[in-house]
Structure 1
């Protein structure tokens, strides 16, 4: 994977502090393999990996949300013997 033009060694003299849009996109971007010679098998593998990552992210976000809700509920009841049980499914 090549770096964006502002990060290329030839452009080092032009760099500024604080970063650029290209650098931000490079750091956070999603880089998928591709090309005219990509086989169907390679494409299927990329799609499968991407879907798996989306599922893991959604599961992680849901877990964090449920934990946060549980904590907030416990803060509201302030130490009483009430427990919050959230069924997953």
Structure 2
């Protein structure tokens, strides 16, 4: 299980799949979700297999989530802001052009 080394209090929260997650403003979104003991951030489009962060540096795309209605966001590259709504994603969402 992931834990903070920094023991300062959380000052905000966001929701992931309807669950309130305590966090600190500006911290890494993927790390905050992992700390809440959530391992599946998305599912694969073909088999529905659960997927979670792998590289934590934006290379692998395993941590795709929908943030405030915007799909295909890499949780490892996002920072937490209070009140954000994060949803798991099924595969990669289509991009409307």
Q: TM-score surpassing 0.5?
A: no
User: Structure 1-normalised TM-score?
Assistant: 0.21
Return the structure number with greater relative CO, CA threshold 8 A, min gap 6. 2
Which structure carries more strand by proportion?
Answer: 2
Structure of greater Rg: 1
User: Structure 2-normalised TM-score?
Assistant: 0.20
